[in-house]
Amino acid sequence: MEKFEKVTGIAAPMPLVNIDTDMIIPKQFLKTIKRSGLGVNLFDEMRYDDNGNEIPDFVLNKPQYRDAEILIAGENFGCGSSREHAPWALKDFGIRAVVSTSFAEIFYNNCFKNGILPIVLPQEAVDVLMKDAEKGSNARMTIDLENQVVTSSDGEEFSFEVDSFRKHCLMNGLDDIGLTLEKAASIDSFEAKATQARPWV
C-alpha cells in the first residue's frame, strides 16, 4: 500500500450530501476483484451520459479537476452498501484524501485499509475548504498527516483527529497483509516449532 505522509494537490468540491457507495462505483462494476482499473468508472452515472459521453458540468470532468487528489464532500459520504470497490475506485482515480463532516462507518474503515485518508472536520471548516476548492487548479491544498493539519491555498490551517494506529498504518503503507508480514519472522519460527512438535500434521 502506498505511504501517506503529506499530500499537496488539487481539491475537487463535491457538496452533495449522502453520496452513497453506489454513486461512487455503480453495482455493474463490482465483478472484478482487482483494485486497479475502477477509476474510469468512478461516479459513473454522474460523469457520463447514456451514450458514454462525459457530462461537462460534472466536477471531475472539468479540466481544472481532472488531476484532483483531494475531495471536499458533503456530509455522510460513503453511505449505503459496504462495497470495498468504492475506495478502490477513488484511489485508482487518484484521490488520496476525502474531507467531510461525516462518513459512513464501513466506508470510513475501508478507506484506511486502502491508503485513503478520510478526514472529519466541523461544518464551518468544510465550508471554508469547499469555497477554496471552487477556485480550481490554482488552489492547492496540503494535507499533513504527521501533524494532522489541512492547509488551504490561502494558508488557513485546520487540525483533524485520527486514530494513532490507523495513522501509523497509513504513514508506513501498511494494509492488513502488510501488518501480518511485519510478523513474518515470528510466524516462520512458530511454524518451524509446530512442525517439529507435530511432524504428522
Name the superfamily (CATH) of residues 6-172. Aconitase, domain 4 (3.20.19.10)
pLDDT for residue 192: 65
More confident residue, 115 or 186: 115
HEC assignment per residue over the chain: CCCCCEEEEEEEEECCCCCEHHHHCCHHHCCCCCCCCCHHHCCHHHHECCCCCECCCCHHHCHHHCCCCEEEECCCECECCCCCHHHHHHHHHCCCEEEECCECHHHHHHHHHCCCEEEECCHHHHHHHHHHHCCCCCCEEEEECCCCEEECCCCCEEECCCCHHHHHHHHCCCCHHHHHHCCHHHHHHHHHHHHHHCCCC
Per-residue pLDDT band for 174 (boundaries 50, 70, 90) equals: confident
pTM over 0.85: yes
**pLDDT tens digits, one per residue of 2-47:** 899 999 999 999 999 999 999 999 999 888 777 788 999 999 999 9
pLDDT for residue 175: 74
Any idea where the domains of the chain sit in the sequence? 6-172
